[in-house]
Structure 1
Amino acid sequence: MTNKINIAVIGVGRWGVHLLRNFLAHPQVNVVAVVDPHPERLAAVKQQFDLDENVLLTTQWQDLKTVPRLTGVAIATPATTHYALIKDALQEGYHVLAEKPLTLNPVECRELCHLAEQHHLILMVDHTYLFHPAVERGKTVVQAGKLGDLRYGYATRTHLGPVRQDVDALWDLAIHDIAIFNAWLGQIPIKVQATGTVWLQGAGEQGSRGAEGKKDTNSPVPQGLADLVWLTLTYSDGFQAYIHLCWLNPDKQRRLGIVGSLGSLIFDEMSLSSPLSLLHGEFERQGNQFIPVNQKQVVLELEPGEPLQKVCSSFVVSILNNTPSEVSSGWIGTELVEILTALTASLEQGGKPIFLNVHQVSTLIISDS
Structure 2
Amino acid sequence: MKIGVAVLGVGRWGVHFVRNMSQHSQVELVAIADPHPSQLNYCVQQFGIDPTKVTLATDWETIRELDNLHAIVVATPASTHYDLIYDALSRGYHVLAEKPLTLNPEQCLELTKLATSKQLQLLVDHTYLFNSVVQKGQQVIQSGKLGQLRYGYATRTHLGPVRQDVDALWDLAIHDIAIFNHWLGQTPIKVQARGKVWLQPEHQMIISNQVGLADLVWLTLFYPDGFEANIHLCWLNPDKQRRLCVVGNEGTLIFDEMSQATPLTIQQGYFAQEGDKFIPQGQNCQIIATEPAEPLSQVCDRFITDILKGSSSTLSSGWVGTQLVQILTGLTRSLEQQGEIIALPTFSS
Question: Which category describes the TM-score, using the shorter chain as reference length?
Answer: over 0.9
Q: What TM-score results when the alignment is normalised by the length of structure 1?
A: 0.92
1:3-82 to 2 correspondences below 5 Å: 3-52=1-50, 53-82=52-81
Query: Does the 8 Å CA contact 2:164/2:203 hold for their aligned counterparts?
Result: no
- Counterpart of 2:281 in structure 1 is 293
| Matched letter for residue 297 of structure 1 | C
SS at match of 2:238: strand
Cα deviation, 1:22-57, whole Å, max 9, x if unaligned, reads: 111111111010000001111111111111221000
CA distance in 2, matches of 1:144, 1:4: 39
| Matched letter for residue 172 of structure 1 | D
Query: Does the 8 Å CA contact 2:204/2:213 hold for their aligned counterparts?
Result: no
| Matched letter for residue 130 of structure 2 | F
Query: Does the 8 Å CA contact 2:246/2:252 hold for their aligned counterparts?
Result: yes
| Matched letter for residue 278 of structure 2 | F
CA distance in 1, matches of 2:247, 2:335: 26
- Counterpart of 2:105 in structure 1 is 106
| Matched letter for residue 53 of structure 2 | N
CA distance in 2, matches of 1:265, 1:71: 41
Cα deviation, 1:270-328, whole Å, max 9, x if unaligned, reads: 00111000111001112211111101111111012100000000000111111222210
| Matched letter for residue 177 of structure 1 | D
CA distance in 2, matches of 1:208, 1:198: 17
| Matched letter for residue 309 of structure 1 | S
| Matched letter for residue 250 of structure 1 | P
**Would the alpha carbon gap of residues 159 and 77 (structure 1) be closer, same or farther in structure 2, given more than 3 Å must change?**
same
- Counterpart of 2:231 in structure 1 is 243
CA distance in 2, matches of 1:91, 1:47: 33
| Matched letter for residue 95 of structure 1 | H
**Would the alpha carbon gap of residues 192 and 37 (structure 1) be closer, same or farther in structure 2, given more than 3 Å must change?**
same
> Is 1:271 aligned with 2:259?
yes
- Counterpart of 2:171 in structure 1 is 172
Query: Does the 8 Å CA contact 1:4/1:28 hold for their aligned counterparts?
Result: yes
- Counterpart of 1:365 in structure 2 is none
> Is 1:234 aligned with 2:222?
yes
Query: Does the 8 Å CA contact 1:130/1:179 hold for their aligned counterparts?
Result: yes
Query: Does the 8 Å CA contact 2:204/2:211 hold for their aligned counterparts?
Result: no
321, 330, 346: which one aligns with 2:318? 330
1:196-275 to 2 correspondences below 5 Å: 196-202=195-201, 204-205=202-203, 223-275=211-263
Q: What TM-score results when the alignment is normalised by the length of structure 2?
A: 0.97
Compute the displacement of 1:68 (Å).
1.1
- Counterpart of 1:116 in structure 2 is 115
CA distance in 2, matches of 1:289, 1:23: 59
State which drifts further: 43-52 or 339-348. 43-52
CA-atom RMSD in angstroms: 1.4
> Is 1:350 aligned with 2:323?
no
329, 336, 341: which one aligns with 1:341? 329
SS at match of 2:62: helix
State which drifts further: 166-175 or 141-150. 141-150
CA distance in 1, matches of 2:283, 2:65: 63
| Matched letter for residue 41 of structure 1 | Q
Query: Does the 8 Å CA contact 1:192/1:346 hold for their aligned counterparts?
Result: yes
CA distance in 2, matches of 1:263, 1:270: 21
Query: Does the 8 Å CA contact 1:318/1:324 hold for their aligned counterparts?
Result: yes
CA distance in 1, matches of 2:207, 2:127: 28
| Matched letter for residue 37 of structure 1 | P
SS at match of 1:64: coil
| Matched letter for residue 7 of structure 1 | V
Compute the displacement of 1:21 (Å).
0.5
Structure 2, unpaired ranges of 5+: none
SS at match of 2:140: helix
